Amino acid sequence: MSHKGDFLALLKSQNCHIQLSADDLNSASLPLGATGDAATHQLEVAEGTTVIAVRYQDGILIAGDRRATAGTSVMYDRAEKVLPIDEYSVLAISGSPAIAYEMARVLEHSFQYFRRSQLQELSVEGKLRMLSRLIRENLPMALQGIGGVIPIFALYDLNHPEDENGGKIYFYDALGAHFENAAFAVSGSGSVWIRGILRYLDRWEGGPLAEMDLQRATRTVLRLLDTASEYDVATSGYNPKSRIFPTAKVITREGIHDLPEQQLDEIYTEFVDVDYA
Amino acid sequence: MLDEPYRWIEAINDRRDYIEDQLRPGSPVVGLNYNEGMLLLTIGSGQRKIFEVHNRTALCAIGHPAYIEQLRMLATDTASVQGFQNSVDDVTLHRLANFVLGPAIKQTFESIFGAAPIIKMLLAELGTLGRENQFSSINYDGAVATDSHAQLIGGTDAIESAMRRYLADSNSSDGTLISTARTALEIWAVGRDLSLHEDDESDDSEGSPVDRVQLHEVLKEELKEGQIEAAVLDNTRRGNSKFRILQSEEIENLTSDWL
């Protein structure tokens, strides 16, 4: 076989075109009035959302609000923005939902295809580069300002020593460069309101975030999402009328677990939705 | 030659004899249902024979490794593209076996000027969306046989028949994985024993009871050199992919205090 476990090459060989392929998106496909000249476009990615990943003592807690917006309209309040990709990897998306969901789908199938065809798991570096490639190939859409995606990618590295935390958090720029962040990462329009708080908590308040237990990590993340929703209209908070909670998942050596709604409800009631003294 | 049909038939028959001779010593593969899913088991000499094809589909085969690899990739590529283009729910064993692998093997088998397909395959699909668990075997001539409870492949029809008889008579499994795997090992030993004594094959009297102690001796002897390879499609497994290769500790548990 010529494609050596490369799912994108397999799709191409079968004449199956995906939305993210740079081959299909060139300047000729830009909307009316657009020139396709990168210099004339400011790379601004619409990213109405807040997603957050923090390292805690057993792995990674990764969460996101549920609101999907189009301009100033709320389109949907139950969007899933924290998407499991394989047994130990999660993608938290911000940006264009159509592209982001397609990216997650391609990523999931690519990892699976590599494992099934090459009879081994794709390495952590291989997974990171695969996502970089998808983001880079999506550049024409990002330049148009309609299809940019700035995700957080979090995973648990099983090759890490068993007695250490193998949780890893990576964030990306719109061109596909990835950076590892040891303690936390945030993305989306609400992230500007909480990034500084995370830095403060990690540096001075109650010890490093990586030493938190799950209870404290969950409490912190829910409070931060609530804070983001207070200042960012594209981020939803807890909606008690509809009982819509943020999505929260943990990634540990045992794999990925959803935090159940009941647990989130209890933490909200006790620690987030509190009356002012 | 092509204008003389009887020669083509003769060539096909020669091809059949040749393939069966090549397949005869192949290590049998056993596929059985258990409480929580489906088990595929064989004993090999180190080269992997059981593979994940898609979320709920697994494959194993006996035959020439290069041809197994070629068809494994055909199945994996087809399932992966189909699952991506439509939905993972649209990837079915029925379509893989009857529309992809079966015709490809049949075409190779009947192309008498090309290499013969030295292969027998066994595929398993864990049921979902109202579909039952399903096993399919594909013969070297492309013929597909399906069963929802069990399926076996061995070097010859006689070997498979003997294994099937033992399975039908066997009622020792309580449905747990370990018990089912032990039954599978005994069925494997029936096939192996017969393939090692091919001269006696014609003397094999239908319905004659098989001595379990003797089967265990066969297993002990084979496990001096060979290794048990087993995988499950496990309904209780989290995530989309239900395939799991049994770990070495689980394999050890199969035989300790039993053989």
Looking at chain B, the whole-number percentage of residues with pLDDT higher than 90 is 76
Which chain A residue is nearest to residue B80, measuring alpha carbons? A113
Residue A170 has pLDDT above 50, yes or no: yes
Q: Where are the domains of chain A?
A: 48-272
Assign domain A48-272 one CATH number from 3.40.50.11890, 3.40.640.10, 3.60.20.10, 3.40.50.150: 3.60.20.10
CB-based contact B53 A116, cutoff 8 Å: yes
> What is the value of pTM for the model shown?
0.88
Q: Domains (ranges, CATH) in chain B? A: 26-255 (3.60.20.10)
Q: Which residue, among A112, A122, A156, would best test binding to B if mutated, counting the most B CBs under 10 Å from its CB? A: A112
What pLDDT, on a 0 to 100 scale, did the predictor assign at position A75? 85
The pLDDT, as a whole number, for residue A32 is 35
Is A72 noted as a catalytic residue in this protein?
A: no
Q: Does A156 touch chain B (CB under 8 A)?
A: no
- Contact (CB<8Å) B84/A11: yes
Q: How far apart are CA A123 and CA A259, in angstroms?
A: 27
Nearest residue on chain B to A5, alpha-carbon basis: B77
The answer, yes or no, to whether residue B241 has pLDDT greater than 80, is yes
User: Has residue A47 got a pLDDT over 80?
Assistant: no
**Residue B239: its chain A contacts at CB < 8 A?**
84, 86-87, 255-256
Sort out which chain B residues have CB atoms less than 8 A from A16's CB and list them: 81, 84-85
What ipTM, to 2 d.p.?
Answer: 0.90
Interface test with B, best of A106, A116, A257, A258 (most B CBs within 10 A): A116
Average pLDDT over all residues of chain B: 91
